[in-house]
Structure 1
Amino acid sequence: MKNNLNTKQEKGHDSNVPLYFPKLSDIQEAAKTIGQVVSETPLQHSIRYSKNYDANILLKREDLQRVRSYKIRGAFNKISSLSPKELKQGVVCASAGNHAQGVAFACKHLGVDGTIFMPVVTPKQKIDQTKMFGGDRVKVVLDGDTFDDSYSAAMDFCKMKRKTFVHPFDDPKTIEGQATVGLELLDQTTEPIDYVFVAVGGGGLASGLCATFKALSPETKIIGVEPEGAPSMKLSMQEGKLVQLSQIDKFIDGAAVQKVGEYTFPICRDHLYRMETVPEGKVCQTILELYNRDAIVVEPAGALTIAALDYFREEMLGKNVVCIVSGSNNDITRTAEIKERALLHGRLKHYFIIRFPQRPGALKEFVADILGPNDDITHFEYSKKSSRENAPAVVGIELKSPEDLEPLIARMKARNFFGDYLNNKPDLFQYLV
């Protein structure tokens, strides 16, 4: 690893942080190291998406990895590189879920004790899977609301106990392990790959792919994809320096970090073809489409790359395109929220304050004369608290088409039912969704 580090200062780079770019030989060595535990995941041609985009769309199914995400590659490679003394002392990690499972599996397989810090909001499914993979070798600690909170707590614990920290993305050995996805891709196709779409949280997988393809297929364009609510890499690239976000939308937990890596940022800045952000609601639409039409179950981060294809429709006509489907650790209890976000993004779900006249038959009039034939009430909160002429109710309505909204509002106003539209009032709306 020494030969990969360079301490000279470059534009936009902190001179206190070593510059690093993965060597192909180290990536190939990582592939040998992890070969004993990592599955070669399928590169699957998508008939539906290929027809939709008039391109050859291939899905790299890392959601079918043995821990249901690519994270095992970096975690196992990093832990395997430790000295016997470090292994005996034990390891620590922080993770929103997928890296935790990779570390847990590696600890169990290699006989190493691990302490895993996860955000309190981590889906229960990911916590249970982590405990299952690690068995009696790991202890899970829930601390903080975000990955960054858990990371801070894990680092404090690590220093206090003098254990080795296994970073989910910002470590050369982790990056080299993730980079093996690129080696597999290139072995699985004889056609040149024009585009690779990769989800970006901290940037470990994206950095690894940049290195692999620069060495073996430099004409391939690597496109990073982030959640719109956590654009830490995109903003850092725009600013030319690492940017820490004060607030993020934590919904796409596998790719929502406040600050990307010090190793990964320069690599992504210099070698990604483009960074794209995708609204969380659009990602939810993609999750539901994959499940309903392709029988593919993915977590939000796993759907990011496919959700971004719309933004490149013209550019990738007739091209060979790979989307990394990064993980499938989804909790079924999140289905209602996923559907809600998808409907909101598609402008099919709308919330209103409705002023109901305080007289018998007002609700019947609203349902019969105001709602359209395909409109459905999905939320209704009302209580009579005064003797005023009109009493407000919060009503959620699902439409069949976005074009039905304006006629619906017009009918409400004509009959004096309309109070307010809440979808465009985020301070109020957050309490409903």
Structure 2
Amino acid sequence: MDFENKLDSVAALERLQSVIKHTPLEYNTSLSEKYSCEVYLKREDLQVVRSYKLRGAYNMISQLSEESLSKGVVCASAGNHAQGVAFSCKKLNTRGVIFMPEITPKQKINQTRMFGGNMIEIILVGDTFDDCLKEALTYTEVNKMTFIPPFDNYKIIEGQGTVGVEILEELPDTDIVIVPVGGGGLSAGAGVYMKKVNPAIKVFGVEPEGAPSMSRALQNDGPVTLEVINRFVDGASVKRAGELTFPICREVLDELILVPEGKVCTTILKLYNEDAIVAEPAGALSVAALDFCADQIKGKKVVCVLSGGNNDIERMQEIKELSLLYEKLKHYFVVNFPQRPGALKLFVNKVLGPDDDITRFEFIKKIQKEYGPALVGIELKSADDYSGLVERMEALKFDYKEINRDLTLFEYLV
């Protein structure tokens, strides 16, 4: 592998020693018992900027020439990469210009500003990351600065690979490492190092189902640009895998697992409720993947890289909702209530089961709201209760349409 000579994550870790935290590798009892193996969590959510992204950003910026540092650096990011660059700019006393989409939540803007202080300037531009990136690249060229990409650079990849160095220093007999995959910087860097030290180790990559850029690249034998992606798992949702990271991932990934966004949400809630871990969606990907490789990990020593913990608390209601939908515990119906007295009372008393709960109810019509079609959200205690619910609706002659399975209607009404 030619790229091995361009990546030295051991040297990068030396470079980063005074900047990053050596994050803990924690044995997780409940996950280990559930999957009949030894599960360890690499806690990058406890990193200085609450994600591994600092490793790559600092590794690249710290190796720039004095002349380049004097001119400053530029990046485009709405999240963890921006915070890593901001922290590095303040630490290295170099000016940074950080482009973020106009829709970036204030929490992320404030975090980035906190880490960068007066060494950075934040420019909000465009409605999408792609618009933002275009502006950032133009600004970089006009001002003769250095662009710091989020993943597609050997120094970035090398820095992210220090996660793998720390894992094998602490647990050299690891059998399987599971890493989230967005653009591929972490999986490429960690994968190269770990395979070099122990060729028998298995590296499983995990992508969100709605943004399978690396999966598509592997199928196509080269990166392709996805027209539409689901951006919910924002730390790992990219439209195109890296030109440098793709060939590396093709060599070092033994498997690439796609995980539904709803499953990620369930995992976030379980990590919080059972382990008091605040994981962002991308950070939970590796743990969410365990169900999809349960047979392969039995009896093995497995490390899940929990890549970040920058989760905005304002998202928790959305996360809970997506989890309930995925677990088939929440269903939305359009129910056409007949024009007869007591129809709603009949629905509540005879259709709903003893543990069913109406979480949303609104008549759709703007006039004569006391009857006609209504949007009804119902939360179940068990997914097995669903069949009884629809049987009772049909037996009592309620005309209904479930909209969970109709994406267009769901997005329009819910």
1:295 and 2:247 aligned? no
Alignment of 1:24-423 (within 5 A): 26-190=8-172, 192-382=173-363, 385=366, 391-423=372-404
1:383 Cα shift?
5.5
Q: Which amino acid in structure 1 is aligned with residue 315 of structure 2?
A: R
Matched, 1:428 2:409: yes
Residue 52 (structure 1) shift: 0.3
Matching residue's letter, 2:294: R
Does structure 2 conserve the Cα–Cα contact (< 8 Å) formed by 1:409 and 1:418? no
Aligned-pair CA distance for 1:137: 1.1
Letter aligned with residue 275 of structure 1: L
Q: Which runs of 5+ in 2 are unaligned?
A: none
**In structure 2, how many angstroms separate the alpha carbons of the residues matched to 1:32 and 1:387?**
72
Deviates more, 1:401-410 or 1:314-323: 401-410
3-state SS in 1 of match to 2:297: coil
Residues 363, 369 of structure 2: 8 Å contact kept: no
Deviations along 1:256-314, whole A, 9 cap, x unmatched? Answer: 00001111000001221011110000000000000001111100000000000111111
Cα contact 1:22–1:172 (8 A) shared by 2:
no
In 1, Cα distance between equivalents of 2:239 and 2:299: 36
Q: Which moved more, 1:271-280 or 1:410-419?
A: 410-419
Q: Which letter does structure 2 place at the counterpart of 1:336?
A: Q
Residues 161 and 248 of structure 1, relative CA distance in 2, 3 Å threshold: same
Residues 119 and 150 of structure 1 are in contact (CA less than 8 Å); yes or no, is this contact kept in structure 2? yes
Does the aligned pair in 1 maintain the 2:45–2:283 contact within 8 Å? yes
Identity in percent: 54
Provide the rounded CA distance (Å) in 2 between the counterparts of 1:278 and 1:149. 28
The change in CA–CA distance for 1:142 and 1:320 in structure 2 (over 3 A counts) is same
Contact 1:248 1:257 in 2 (8 A): yes
Superposition RMSD on alpha carbons, in Å? 1.7
- Cα 1:389–1:104 shift into 2, 3 Å: closer
Report the secondary structure of 1:392's partner residue: strand
Give 1:414 shift. Answer: 2.0
Q: Give the conservation status (yes or no) of the 8 Å contact 1:147–1:257.
A: no
Partner Cα distance (2:166, 2:107) in 1: 28
Tell me the matched-pair count.
414
Report the Cα offset of residue 400 of structure 1. 1.1
Unaligned 5+ segments in structure 1 are: 7-19
Aligned residue in 2 for 1:16: none
Q: Aligned to 1:407, what secondary structure does the other structure show? A: helix
**Does the CA-based 8 Å contact 2:45-2:51 persist in structure 1?**
yes
User: Comparing 44-53 with 238-247, which one deviates more in the overlay?
Assistant: 238-247
Letter in 2 for 1:33: R
| Cα distance in 1, alignment partners of residues 102 and 369 from structure 2 | 44
Amino acid of the residue matched to residue 118 of structure 1? M
Q: Deviations over 1:56-114 (max 9, x none)?
A: 00000000001000000000011001111111111001123001111000001111111
Runs of 4+, deviation exceeding 4 Å = 383-390
The AA in structure 1 aligned to 2:353 is G
Q: Within 1, Cα distance between the matches of 2:197 and 2:364?
A: 66
Q: Provide the rounded CA distance (Å) in 1 between the counterparts of 2:79 and 2:366.
A: 46
Deviations 1:384-427 (A, max 9, x none): 54569951101111111112112211211222223211011101
Cα separation, 1, equivalents of 2:5 and 2:36: 34
Aligned-partner residue type, residue 394 of structure 2: K
Matched residue type, 2:210:
G
Is the 8 Å Cα contact of residues 279 and 310 (structure 2) preserved in structure 1? yes
Could you report, residue by residue, the CA deviation over 1:305-327 in whole angstroms, capped at 9, with x for unpaired residues? 00001111111110000000000
Whole-angstrom distance in 1 between the partners of 2:386 and 2:40: 37
Taking the aligned partners of 2:301 and 2:76, their CA distance within structure 1 comes to: 36
In 2, distance between residues paired with 1:256 and 1:214?
26
TM normalised by structure 1 equals: 0.92
Q: Shift of residue 140 of structure 1?
A: 1.7
Letter in 2 for 1:401: S
Q: Distance in 2 between matches of 1:337 and 1:184?
A: 34
TM-score by length of 2: 0.96
